Structure 1
Amino acid sequence: MRILMAAAALSALVAGTGVAHAQSTAIEGRVDRLEREMRAVQRKVFPGGAGQTLEPQIVPETNVNAPGTPAGSALSDLTQRVAALENQVTSMTGQVEQGQYRLRQLEEAFNAYKRSTDARLKALEDGASSVGTGGPVIAPVDLGETPARPTRPPAETATPKPTGTRAQQVAAIQKPNSGDPAEDGYTYGFRLWSAKLYPEARRELEAVATKYPQHRRASYSQNLLGRAYLDSGAPSLAAVAFYENYKKNPNGERAADSLYYLAQALTKLKKPASEVCKVYTELDQLYGPQLSAEMKAGVAEGRVAQKCK
């Protein structure tokens, strides 16, 4: 009888040891799986390592209990390791999600900027397509004001509008030949503009401004290029020409004129009064003493019309 009881007790002890060993094996599997997942997340968040990887907060014990000893301490350590690994995986996952959210925000901001830029470029292209380079002359727009025209040298006398076909009108404009190509190009462009042959005038004036940017007539040509656009009903392209003349050559002899006409082009484009007033203010601050009485009167009228403060 005693032998049977001893055998039963031994069997129970062996069975309990087997259950504990099975539980320990299952937890070890969870630990290994979580450690692999954490390393995978670390490789994604910190490519190449660079000393940024995180080590588990709980490390295995160096002293391993011999089989048959109580498993409570080992199971407790494994449970702590599992909890620590789960917390680290959760933290790393949160960092990845935050990075993805910031990336989406950057993409949305870039797409909004691209749409705005595309719309502005399309508006300029539409304005350019409405002004042909070889089509009929477009009637000048009545600006409803008396603009301050630049002081003209003796060669820049007003040219009467020629008659006949387009080719005959262009041929009737005399080309100067002083030996200074920039001077001659500007004078010829001015004569074409004065005859309201705007597309031909634009070609001559743009060529002078592009080929001879250091010549004093570059400022004249770029400003008159904007005038040719403005007079032919293309205020958007005129605004670009005026702004480039002021921005690239602020000390040029027609920089102040370009700022003055820039305000008029913005008015034609129905831009907010605050933008137009800003141009008038900058004109006064930078070139006020240099403005002619006629231009000062035009600025004063423009500020009143825009209700500038």
Structure 2
Amino acid sequence: MKLLNSPAKPRAVLACAIAGLLLTSGAPAFAQDKSEARIRKLEAEVSALQRRVFPGADGRYFEPDIAAPANGSPNGSTQTTAVTDILARLDALESAIQMLTGQVEQANNTQRGFEQRLAVLEKASATRSATTAPATSVPAVASGTATGTSQPRPATPTPTATPQPSAERLAAVRAIAKPQTDDAGDDDYSYGFRLWEAKFYPEAQQALAAFVEKYPDHWRTTYGRNLLGRAYLDNGQPREAAPWFLQNYQADNKAARAPDSLLFLAESMIELGDKDRACIALAEFSETYPAIASGRLSDQYESNRRQVQCSN
């Protein structure tokens, strides 16, 4: 400590001390080299100690080799904070990836459920195609969003299919006027609707079947297929009605009357005593149209549910 407090430079003091030792000793030349190395080591240690004890602007001393950060915090703390931030961001990314993976798996499971339910519905319609009004089978669809565009072809009624109408009935049917506007397709649908509204169901079936065959791409076609199914259902023919409801849903499940048809399909299955397929149709309806199930068609949906005991 006396050496540090002396105003003389440590290098001169140490040099004199070492010179005296060399003059009084009879060490060989290799010992002198070793002493020089020790001198340099001691000088370096003294210089480092001076920078530590006497920091400042004094030209006699050097600034410390490692300076503290301007904000007074140690460098290690700054590095630790940066590493902590990186680790936190990595944790957040891993959590987001896990969440997205779960959502994708859930969407895939939902899609597989739709496909299985539609496969069951299509199988049910295929087994009844021999006795239904359409002469061709309902097109197969692989997913919940139907893309088939082919239309079921209604069979031409034969004179023996229904009893010969009475003169009074014929007169009442003729009294229902067919609209005459610039839209011939809408006129044909409106005429079928008027027949159905008047409860002339066989005549409505003929008129609506002709409409959906002649105008497969008309904006009223979704209404026509749904009403054709209802003309059969209201006439006590749920087996003939079911394929029309299923076809209307599969042709475009975003069409105006697609949700109605799916609900009427469940009703047809209930009347046929097929509770399992009725539950499948009701589950498909609630999952595909949750807003309509709790809104416009809520009463009909709840009424159908009360008639069957579904597991979900």
> What is the TM-score of this pair, normalised by structure 2?
0.48
The structure that has the greater radius of gyration is 2
